[in-house]
């Protein structure tokens, strides 16, 4: 119960702005309690009056019962409306907040977990949390109703009260055992479901590559294995659940039979009159069903606690490490930065080994080296996508650990070799990075990125929806759109990570011209395998095994760096 109260406090912040609706809902439930106690009495009264031939009294009771029923129906409608509104509001706030928290998780944690882990928690688990207040109010109201009924039975006949209470306790104990056993089964089932969701997401996003690899059979087999495992866990959970349910149904039937025998004996000895016996029978049925209700409520609490544990692991816990930033803010970044003895490793694989270099503002610098030399890692560290293991990175003389997020990422734009394009229109993809983007700025950026002619050839032009991941665009078009998106931001530092790798020679030349036009106005860093795209860089840094082994202009490296000269000659040879 302590865990439940603690988790309830954690969810309270998502509902406290709807306090008025909550108070109205509580009042409506109190009214419902009164109606639930009165209706069985009225029903019994009608049945008794039917045997006395007092037709006017029967009609009077029926009218009262109709009025109570109409009030009950109206009350239920209002309760359902308020409950739905509360659920919607809590769910919206939870999902938005969880989405923000996911975006704060460090890349190292994201790398270790499939997207299914986060999708299931943002959809399935938030639903359990959003529904808890409606469930709690309804269940507390029912508890009060059952207590009221027990008190009424106690007042009427203590022997029946003792029997009903004893019978209810047996059912409550069985329900408690059932819900405790279900919790662990449910935990395993949800983990399995996360794996299925993550794999389905990968299958959908990678459908084109799967077809090209002719691997449909392998992927569907793997999907089948994961789904079978998930379904087996669900079946095991339900099987145990149903066994206990059948046992409880049998005990409930037996208890109902014993109660009838008890009431018959009391009627025979004239301890009870028929009308009172009928009311007691109706009430005892509610108490019997309360055991199932209590079981469901315990199940809801355990579901809620499990979902809260999974959701709060993202929002408050240590399971998913969050990004950390400093509190120093730079209103304007000039573009000077420096790496000092930086060491960094992905898990146990060391990528950078005491790397040191300095970049001046408005300088164009290229990084060259074999795959795995650490080029892209430098960009990731500069954007603080990962934290260095040791050493330091300085931006305009301030250590990157001390800077806030906006000072770093608000002043650096990275254009990767595989840019993610969102399932929106071209215009909306550009406005993601600048909400107040004007049409003039948008068109200028697309023109500079050599994308304007293609966009104008489309029927809907800038309003064309380009599919998830830019599925309707070629590789070159995606990269040009990413370049346009970067140009819209107008940051002081622009990083090109193989950004022209998917472009044809003609378009690459245009992009190269655009990059040259930005020289001396921005700090530009370029990673490129095509050395022809970086020959005009102010400096070229040649990396090997996480260290800079040589640096200088293109002409200097051709003369003084054997590895660079070999790469350049191989490229020229391949062109021929």
CATH of residue 562's domain is 3.40.50.300
Q: Same structural domain for residues 385 and 457?
A: no
Q: Same structural domain for residues 44 and 144?
A: yes
Quick one: which H or E segment has residue 65? helix 55-104
Give pLDDT, residue 432.
78
Identify whether 418 is part of a domain: no
Contact 149, 114 (CB under 8 A): no
Identify whether 416 is part of a domain: no
Q: Same structural domain for residues 427 and 564?
A: no
Q: Same structural domain for residues 185 and 240?
A: yes
Q: Same structural domain for residues 294 and 350?
A: no
Give pLDDT, residue 437.
83
Length of the chain: 576
Q: Same structural domain for residues 465 and 331?
A: no
- Both structure tokens of 99: 């989405």
Cα distance between residue 550 and residue 545, in whole Å: 12
Q: Same structural domain for residues 20 and 147?
A: yes
**pTM of the entire predicted model:** 0.65
Q: Same structural domain for residues 511 and 435?
A: no
Q: CA torsion sign, 146 to 150 to 151 to 155?
A: positive
Q: Same structural domain for residues 499 and 567?
A: yes
Q: Which residue has the tokens 């070229």?
A: 540
Give pLDDT, residue 127.
79
Phi first, then psi, for residue 81 (nearest 5°) are -65, -50
Q: Same structural domain for residues 497 and 482?
A: no
Task: Give me the tens of pLDDT residue by residue for the chain, a chain 576 residues long.
Answer: 677 788 777 777 777 777 788 788 788 777 777 777 676 666 666 656 665 666 677 777 777 778 877 887 887 788 888 888 888 888 888 888 888 888 888 777 777 776 667 777 777 788 778 777 777 776 776 777 777 777 777 777 888 888 888 887 887 787 777 777 776 677 777 778 777 777 777 776 666 556 655 567 777 788 788 888 888 887 877 777 777 778 877 887 888 888 888 888 888 888 877 767 777 777 777 666 666 666 677 777 887 888 888 888 888 877 788 888 888 898 888 888 899 999 988 877 788 888 898 999 888 898 988 877 888 888 888 888 888 889 999 998 899 989 988 888 888 888 777 777 777 888 888 887 777 888 888 888 888 777 888 888 888 888 888 776 666 777 777 878 888 887 887 777 888 887 666 566 676 776 677 677 677 778 888 887 777 778 888 899 988 888 888 888 888 888 888 888 888 777 776 665
Q: Same structural domain for residues 35 and 166?
A: yes
Identify whether 264 is part of a domain: yes
Q: Same structural domain for residues 257 and 344?
A: no
- Both structure tokens of 523: 């700090």
User: Domain tally for the chain?
Assistant: 3
Q: Which domain holds residue 548?
A: 324-411+492-576
SS (H, E, C) 348-398: CEEEEEEEEEEECCCCEEEEEECCCCCHHHHHHHHCCCCCCCEEEEEECCE
For the chain, the distance separating the N- and C-terminal CA atoms, rounded to the nearest angstrom, is 75
- From the list 180, 40, 306, the residue with the least C-alpha distance to 48 is 40
Q: Give the burial string for 159-191 (b: 16+ CB within 10 Å, else e).
A: ebbebbeebbeebeebbeebbeebeebbbebbe
């Amino acid at each position: 119960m302590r865990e439940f109260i603690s988790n309830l406090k954690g969810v309270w912040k998502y509902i406290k702005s709807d306090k008025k609706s909550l108070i109205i809902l509580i009042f409506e439930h109190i009214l419902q309690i009164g109606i639930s106690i009165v209706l069985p009495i009225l029903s019994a009264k009608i049945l008794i009056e039917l045997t006395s031939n007092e037709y006017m009294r029967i009609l009077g009771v029926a009218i009262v019962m109709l009025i109570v029923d109409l009030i009950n129906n109206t009350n239920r409608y209002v309760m359902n409306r308020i409950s739905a509104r509360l659920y919607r509001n809590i769910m919206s706030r939870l999902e938005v907040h969880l989405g923000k928290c996911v975006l704060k998780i460090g890349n190292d944690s994201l790398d270790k977990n499939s997207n299914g882990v986060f999708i299931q928690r943002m959809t399935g688990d938030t639903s359990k949390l959003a529904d808890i207040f409606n469930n709690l109010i309804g269940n507390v109201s029912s508890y009060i109703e059952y207590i009221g009924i027990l008190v009424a039975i106690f007042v009427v006949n203590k022997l029946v009260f003792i029997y009903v209470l004893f019978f209810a306790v047996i059912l409550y104990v069985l329900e408690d055992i059932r819900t405790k056993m279900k919790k662990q089964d449910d935990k395993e089932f949800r983990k399995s479901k996360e794996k299925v969701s993550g794999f389905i997401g990968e299958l959908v996003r990678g459908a084109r590559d799967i077809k090209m690899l002719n691997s449909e059979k392998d992927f569907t087999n793997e999907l089948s294995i994961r789904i079978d495992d998930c379904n087996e866990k669900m079946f095991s959970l339900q099987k145990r659940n149903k066994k206990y349910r059948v046992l409880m149904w049998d005990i409930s039937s037996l208890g109902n039979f014993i109660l009838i025998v008890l009431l018959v004996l009391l009627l025979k000895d004239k301890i009870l009159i028929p009308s009172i016996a009928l009311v007691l029978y109706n009430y005892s049925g509610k108490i019997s069903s309360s055991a199932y209700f209590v079981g469901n409520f315990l199940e809801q609490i355990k579901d809620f606690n499990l979902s809260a544990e999974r959701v709060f692991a993202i929002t408050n816990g240590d399971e998913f490490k969050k990004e950390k930033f400093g509190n120093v803010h730079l209103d304007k970044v000039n573009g000077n930065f420096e790496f000092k003895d930086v060491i960094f490793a992905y898990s146990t694989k060391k990528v950078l080994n005491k790397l040191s270099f300095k970049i001046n503002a408005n300088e164009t610098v290229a990084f060259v080296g074999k795959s795995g030399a650490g080029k892209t890692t430098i960009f990731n560290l500069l954007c603080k996508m990962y934290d260095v293991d040791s050493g330091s990175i300085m931006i305009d003389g301030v250590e990157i650990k001390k800077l806030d997020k906006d000072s770093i990422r608000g002043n650096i734009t990275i254009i990767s070799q595989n840019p993610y394009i969102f399932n929106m229109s071209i215009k909306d993809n550009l406005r993601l990075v600048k909400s107040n983007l004007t049409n003039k700025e948008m068109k200028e950026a697309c023109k500079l990125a050599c994308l304007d002619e293609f966009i104008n050839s489309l029927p809907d032009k800038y309003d064309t929806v380009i599919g998830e991941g830019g599925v309707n665009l070629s590789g070159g078009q995606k990269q040009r759109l990413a370049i346009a998106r970067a140009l819209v931001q107008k940051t002081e530092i622009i990083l090109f990570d193989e950004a022209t790798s998917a472009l044809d020679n003609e378009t690459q030349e245009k992009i190269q011209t655009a990059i040259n036009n930005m020289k001396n106005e921005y700090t530009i860093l370029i990673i490129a395998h095509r050395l022809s795209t970086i020959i005009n860089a102010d400096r070229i840094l040649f990396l090997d095994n996480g260290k800079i082994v040589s640096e200088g202009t293109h002409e200097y490296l051709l003369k003084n760096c054997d590895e660079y000269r070999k790469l350049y000659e191989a490229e020229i040879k391949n062109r021929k």
